[in-house]
């Protein structure tokens, strides 16, 4: 709500402005101070639990200018949601002052995500004697935020910097209003702040120059180094050294998943990958996510593992910049963990956990309070799409159209995030991971506690998935609070609707790997009519068996056999399909027997599993070691010049026979995998368009909402979005939260909030 002050007399007036949004920890108070003094206003500003409160006195025209500048010139990292203006009686301030923070109520305050080190700070390291090459330099516009906060309001004593006593110089900068570090809570210098330490066999040092030259030398020798960062440890090695990367894979037990690579700057990125203006901007933004780019120059297969893309990101801490001033080529920067566990944040724990990977550790003594992984994003159809939402994004809230107070949305199971509701906002946790992993589950529980404390949140209702075996469902069952069970794919569609503040009947298309259906089967190719209150399932793929249940996720060949058996019975064994030759005969017999007798063969209609089957049939991927590996490889293989698709017959439920027939014919014709992959992808796109048109004709609804992990497939998303728009649909896709199961919590949140309004 924005009011205006309309006083014509040249006499002084006074007013109070309550500014809400992301206005703490982003240099907002000093910015307001400068604005106020420039426009000859007196008064005060303070952080409180609402945001900031500003009192100004002066000429009416000057106050107008002040308000206008406030809206247009605020620091880039800040985000003003609303300014509420009240007229007040004159208080008689003689100057403008910044008042220390107060605790007011349990209303929301936004907490800034961590911000990459800014260029001014990088320059200061060259000119300021007390910060010469200082590795933890920061200012009111940059540095650690969420990763170090222990409590609100965001003041030094509520961060892990509280143990570092400011030196006289830092103290004076901190209290000098015109200084770039005025009230920069993590302010520090060489004398008084945190520092790095290198622990390596035969060498232990805190001398920063020595650390940097040792790291460089070790990297050149092909060694792996564990380096503590902003939100956790990284494992680092020379990206162009094949043996080093191989070693890292073996020791980290990460056999196939591509590694993220850090480059010195976007110029270096363009030597290895295609990078649009939008992608460059995203790479260089203060959020500094890993951006998935099409690679032009092949890295060793050890890095890309058959994908045509590379996860690239740029330095965001001073140490990263320093490394690249000595080491002039790309570095693997992968999370400091073993396979699926959460990344290490504690020095001792890292030394113990990462011992099988490396004996070289570079850590610092600024504790990480909140673990935050690097975020991952891509750009499709000129929009940023998040794949993993963590560092640089969390805990920025997402606005919702309903009151979410007291709702805890526990999320799904894989790629879990959860969300807490405050006011009209969903505060989504950072990426948590796969809850089946014991330590990830602990991280989940700790983060629920931690966000609850930070935002003074007390759960009144728990919204959860319907899957009886999800640990996020168990959380709801164990609590003595009212619960709201929400179907997985309904939550997907609702999450995307929430991003666009939609609440009306839409055509929801949820394509993903798995989700518990109301009929007890595993869903994942859902066409539904949905609003936030409920949904009606219209159609889906024909059910097929998953021989061995969950185990099929790692064995795409079993799904291929299941689909072949479904449409041809045992006749498929005589079809001379090459992929079958790679599988021991007794295993094939076992799977066929399980299918014929329906032993441990739950039913599924998951689109993700169909991608798995085609990847197996084309011999791209028979077994997997990480989630979505088969669809990712299949997508990488698409020949973009092929525009044909396989025929689709039945639509209710949608038969996959045409696709399987087509794939077999192409295999027999020795068609290249790239063409088969393209036709398969085009068929999926065609099915969605056909269904959407059919539903529109029946129900007169023109809005299509797409959600689910399959829409992380850039080929499908990019083509489908354009083709649906061409058919005059209004298309809604994800941008703020990932399309994968990391969005489930947001969907659960808005559905529970909506349903609560209906109960009142
Ligand atoms: Zn800075
Ligand atoms: Zn200092
Ligand atoms: Fe899902």
Helices (H), 377-514: 438-454, 471-478, 488-499
- Range in 354-363, 460-469, 599-608, 620-629 the model is least confident about: 620-629
pLDDT in tens, 47-98: 776 678 999 999 999 999 999 999 999 888 788 888 999 999 999 999 999 8
Q: How far apart are CA 617 and CA 660, in angstroms?
A: 9
Distance between Cα 184 and ligand 1 center (Å): 9
Residues 82-100 as b or e (16 or more Cβ within 10 Å = b): ebebeeeeeeebeebebee
- Residues 671, 582 within the same domain: yes
| Whether the Cβ atoms of residue 188 and residue 194 lie closer than 8 Å to each other | yes
Q: Single out the residue of 3, 125, 19 nearest to residue 75, CA to CA.
A: 19
Q: Return the pLDDT at 216.
A: 97
The pLDDT value given to residue 101: 64
CA of 360 to the centre of ligand 1 (A): 29
The rounded distance, in Å, linking the Cα atoms of 321 and 726 is 45
Residue 394 lies in a domain: no
CATH number where 190 lies: 3.90.870.30
Which residues share a beta bridge with 510?
526, 707
Beta-sheet strand order (sheet of 12-22):
79-88, 12-22, 51-59, 42-48, 96-99
CA of 740 relative to ligand 3 center, distance in Å: 6
Give 736 Cα–ligand 1 centroid separation in angstroms. Answer: 26
Q: What's the rounded Cα separation, in Å, for the pair 371 and 433?
A: 12
In the reported structure, the alpha carbon of residue 152 is separated from the centroid of ligand 2 by a whole-number distance in angstroms of: 24
Q: 433: left (phi > 0), else alpha (psi -120 to 50), else beta?
A: left
How many A from CA of 129 to the centre of ligand 2? 11
Q: Is 257 in the same domain as 315?
A: yes
Secondary structure of 228-264 in HEC code, one letter for each residue: ECCCCEEEEEECCCHHHHHHHHHHHCCCCCCCEEECC
- What pLDDT, on the 0 to 100 scale, is given for residue 7? 47
| Ligand 1: centre distance to CA 139 (Å) | 4
Ligand lying closest to the C-alpha of residue 116: 1
530 C-alpha to ligand 3 centroid (Å): 16
The predicted structure's pLDDT at residue 105: 42
**Residue 644 resides in a domain:** yes
Question: Is residue 324 assigned to a domain?
Answer: yes
Report pLDDT digits (tens) over 526-537: 999 999 999 999
Domain hosting residue 325, numbered range: 196-370
Distance 628 CA to ligand 2 centre (A): 48
Q: Which residues, in sequence order, are bridge partners of residue 53? A: 18, 46
State the pLDDT confidence band at 106, using cuts at 50, 70 and 90.
very low
Model pLDDT, residue 80: 87
Mention every residue, 6+ apart, whose C-beta is less than 8 A from residue 644.
678, 679, 682
The total number of structural domains in the chain stands at 4
- Position 49 scores a pLDDT of 64
Asked which of 670, 702, 734 is the last residue of a domain, the reply is 702
Measured in Å, residue 735 CA sits from the centre of ligand 1 at 28
Q: Report the range of poorest mean pLDDT among 33-37, 156-160, 298-302, 472-476.
A: 298-302
User: Based on the domain organization, do 577 and 648 belong to the same domain?
Assistant: yes
Q: Which residue do the tokens 């564990």 mark?
A: 226
Ligand nearest to C-alpha 143: 1
CATH of the domain at 68: 3.30.70.100
Give me the residues near ligand 2 (ion), CB cutoff below 5 Å: 167, 170, 189, 191-192
From the CA of 347, how far away is ligand 2's center (Å)?
Answer: 24
Ligand closest in space to the Cα of 470: 3
Tokens read off for 378: 């891509």
How far, in Å, is the centroid of ligand 1 from the Cα of 602? 55
Q: Output phi, psi for 633, to 5 deg.
A: -65, -40
Who wins on pLDDT, 760 or 693?
693
- Cite the beta strand spans of 459-608 per DSSP E: 461-465, 483-486, 506-516, 522-530, 535-539, 544-545, 603-604
Q: Which residues surround ligand 1, an ion (CB under 5 A)?
A: 118, 121, 139, 142
Instruction: Tell me which ligand sits closest to the C-alpha of residue 411.
Output: 3
Distances (CA, A) of 40 to 73, 94, 375: 17, 11, 42
Compute, in angstroms, the gap from residue 17 CA to the centroid of ligand 1.
27
Domain end among 355, 370, 385: 370
Residue 109 pLDDT level (bands cut at 50, 70, 90)? low
Nearest to 316 by CA among 113, 612, 620, 20: 113
Nearest ligand to the C-alpha atom of residue 743: 3
- 365 with 188: CB under 8 angstroms? no
Q: Is residue 590 part of a domain?
A: yes
Averaged pLDDT for residues 16-40: 86
Q: How far is the CA of 125 from the centre of ligand 2 (A)?
A: 13
Measured CA to CA, the distance from residue 290 to residue 310 in angstroms comes to 9
pLDDT category at 10 given cuts 50, 70, 90 is low
Is residue 118 located within the same domain as residue 93? no
Write the pLDDT tens digit of every residue in 729-754.
Answer: 999 999 999 999 999 999 999 999 99
Q: Is residue 758 part of a domain?
A: no
Whether 144 and 200 map to the same domain: the answer is no
Ligand 2 center–CA 116 separation, angstroms: 20
Shared domain check, 361 and 227:
yes
| Domain end (from 194, 209, 242) | 194
Based on the fold, state whether residues 43 and 125 are members of the same structural domain: no
Encoding tokens for residue 712?
Answer: 């992380």
552 and 620 assigned to the same domain:
yes
Residue 20 resides in a domain: yes
- Find the 173 Cα to ligand 2 centroid distance in Å: 9
Query: 365 and 219 share a domain?
Result: yes
Ligand nearest to the CA of 117: 1
Question: How far, in Å, from the CA of 424 to the mean position of ligand 3?
Answer: 25
CA of 110 to the centre of ligand 2 (A): 28
Domain check: are 204 and 339 in the same one? yes
Rounded to the nearest whole angstrom, what is the distance from the C-alpha of residue 169 to the centroid of ligand 2? 6
What is the CA(287)–ligand 1 centre distance, in A? 13
What percentage of residues in the chain have a pLDDT greater than 70?
97
Which pLDDT score, from 0 to 100, does residue 760 have?
Answer: 61
CA distance 562 to 541: 14
pLDDT for position 104: 46
Tell me the whole-structure pTM to 2 decimals.
0.92
In a domain, 521, yes or no: no
pLDDT band at 5 (very low <50, low <70, confident <90, very high): low
pLDDT for 78 equals: 83
Q: Which ligand is nearest to the CA of 189?
A: 2
Look up the CATH number of the domain holding residue 228: 3.90.870.40
Judge whether 477 lies within some domain: no
For the CA of 137, the nearest ligand: 1
Which position has the higher pLDDT, 23 or 106?
Answer: 23
Q: Residue 293 has what pLDDT?
A: 96
Q: Which ligand is nearest to the CA of 138?
A: 1
Query: Over the chain, what is the mean pLDDT?
Result: 93
Alpha helices in 423-500 (DSSP H): 438-454, 471-478, 488-499
- What are 440-476's pLDDT values in tens digits? 999 999 999 999 999 989 999 999 999 999 999 999 9
pLDDT in tens, 590-614: 999 999 999 999 999 999 999 999 9
Distance CA 738, CA 331 (A): 26
CATH number at residue 683: 3.30.420.40
| Token pair belonging to 689 | 């368009």
Per the DSSP assignment, residues forming a β-bridge with 704 are: 507, 731
Of residues 47 and 230, more confidently modeled: 230
Same domain, 187 and 286: no
Ligand in closest contact with the CA of 144: 1
Distance 141 CA to ligand 1 centre (A): 5
179 lies in the same domain as 249: no
Ligand at minimal distance from the CA of 487 is: 3
Q: How far is the CA of 516 from the centre of ligand 3 (A)?
A: 9
**What's the whole-number mean pLDDT along residues 433-437?**
94
């Amino acid at each position: 709500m924005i009011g205006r002050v309309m006083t014509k007399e040249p006499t002084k007036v006074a007013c109070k402005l309550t500014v809400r949004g992301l206005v703490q920890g982003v240099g907002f108070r000093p910015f307001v101070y400068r604005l106020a003094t420039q426009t000859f206003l007196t008064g005060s500003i303070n952080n409180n639990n609402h945001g900031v409160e500003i009192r100004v006195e002066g000429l009416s025209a000057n106050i107008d200018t002040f308000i206008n500048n406030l809206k247009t010139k605020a620091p880039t990292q800040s985000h003003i949601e609303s300014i509420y203006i009240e007229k007040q009686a004159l208080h008689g301030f003689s100057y403008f002052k910044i008042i220390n923070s107060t605790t007011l109520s349990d209303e929301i305050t936004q907490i800034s995500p961590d911000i990459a080190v800014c260029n001014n700070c990088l320059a200061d390291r060259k000119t300021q004697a007390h910060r010469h090459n200082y590795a933890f330099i920061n200012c009111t516009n940059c540095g650690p935020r969420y990763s170090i906060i222990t409590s609100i309001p965001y003041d030094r004593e509520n961060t892990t910097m509280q143990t570092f006593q400011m030196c006289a110089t830092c103290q004076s900068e901190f209290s000098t209003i015109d200084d770039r570090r005025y009230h920069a809570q993590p302010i520090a210098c060489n004398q008084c702040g945190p520092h790095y330490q290198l622990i390596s066999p035969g060498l232990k040092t805190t001398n920063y120059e020595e650390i940097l030259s040792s790291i460089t030398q070790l990297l050149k020798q092909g060694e792996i180094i564990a380096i503590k960062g902003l939100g956790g440890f990284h494992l680092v090695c020379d990206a162009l050294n094949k043996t080093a990367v191989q070693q890292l894979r073996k020791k980290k037990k990460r056999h196939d998943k591509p590694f993220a690579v850090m480059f010195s700057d976007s110029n270096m990125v363009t030597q290895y990958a295609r990078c649009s203006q939008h992608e460059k901007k995203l790479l260089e933004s203060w959020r500094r996510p890993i951006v998935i780019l099409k690679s032009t120059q092949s890295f060793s297969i050890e890095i890309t593992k058959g994908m045509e893309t590379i996860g690239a990101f740029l330095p965001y801490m001073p140490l990263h910049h320093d490394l690249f001033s000595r080491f002039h080529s790309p570095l693997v920067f992968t999370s400091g963990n073993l396979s699926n566990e959460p990344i290490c944040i504690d020095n001792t724990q890292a030394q113990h956990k990462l011992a099988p990977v490396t004996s070289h550790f570079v850590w610092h003594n600024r504790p990480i309070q909140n673990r935050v992984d690097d975020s991952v994003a891509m750009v499709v159809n000129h929009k940023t799409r998040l794949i993993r939402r963590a560092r640089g994004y969390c805990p920025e809230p997402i606005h919702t159209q309903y009151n979410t107070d007291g709702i805890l949305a526990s999320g799904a199971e894989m790629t879990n995030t959860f969300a807490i509701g405050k006011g009209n906002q969903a505060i989504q946790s950072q990426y948590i991971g796969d809850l089946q992993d014991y330590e990830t589950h602990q991280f989940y529980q700790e983060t629920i506690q931690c966000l609850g404390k930070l935002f003074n949140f007390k759960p009144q209702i728990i919204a959860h998935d319907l899957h009886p075996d999800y640990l996020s469902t168990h959380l709801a069952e164990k609590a003595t609070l009212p619960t709201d069970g929400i179907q997985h794919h309904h939550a997907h569609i609702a999450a995307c609707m929430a991003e666009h503040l939609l609440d009306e009947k839409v055509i929801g298309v949820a394509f993903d790997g798995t989700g518990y259906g109301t009929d007890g089967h595993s869903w994942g190719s859902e066409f539904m009519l949905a609003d936030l209150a409920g949904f009606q399932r219209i159609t889906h793929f024909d059910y097929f068996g998953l021989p061995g249940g969950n185990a099929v996720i790692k064995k795409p060949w079993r799904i291929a056999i299941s689909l072949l058996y479904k449409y041809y019975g045992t006749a498929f064994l005589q079809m001379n399909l090459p992929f079958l030759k790679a599988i021991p005969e007794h295993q094939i017999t076992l799977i066929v027997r399980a299918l014929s007798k329906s032993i441990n063969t739950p039913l599924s209609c998951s689109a993700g599993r169909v991608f798995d089957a085609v990847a197996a049939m084309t011999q791209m991927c028979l077994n997997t070691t990480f989630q979505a590996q088969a669809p990712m490889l299949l997508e990488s293989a698409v020949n973009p010049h092929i525009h044909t698709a396989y025929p689709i017959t039945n639509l209710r439920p949608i038969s996959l026979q045409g696709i399987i027939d087509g794939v077999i014919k192409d295999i027999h014709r020795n068609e290249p995998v790239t063409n088969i992959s393209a036709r398969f992808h085009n068929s999926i796109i065609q099915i969605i368009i056909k269904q959407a048109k059919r539903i529109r004709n029946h129900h007169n609804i023109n809005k299509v909402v797409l959600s689910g992990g399959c829409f992380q497939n850039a080929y499908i998303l990019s083509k489908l979005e354009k083709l649906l728009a061409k058919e005059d649909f209004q298309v809604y896709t994800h941008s703020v939260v990932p399309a994968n199961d990391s969005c489930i919590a947001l969907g659960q949140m808005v559905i529970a909030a909506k349903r609560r309004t209906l109960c009142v």
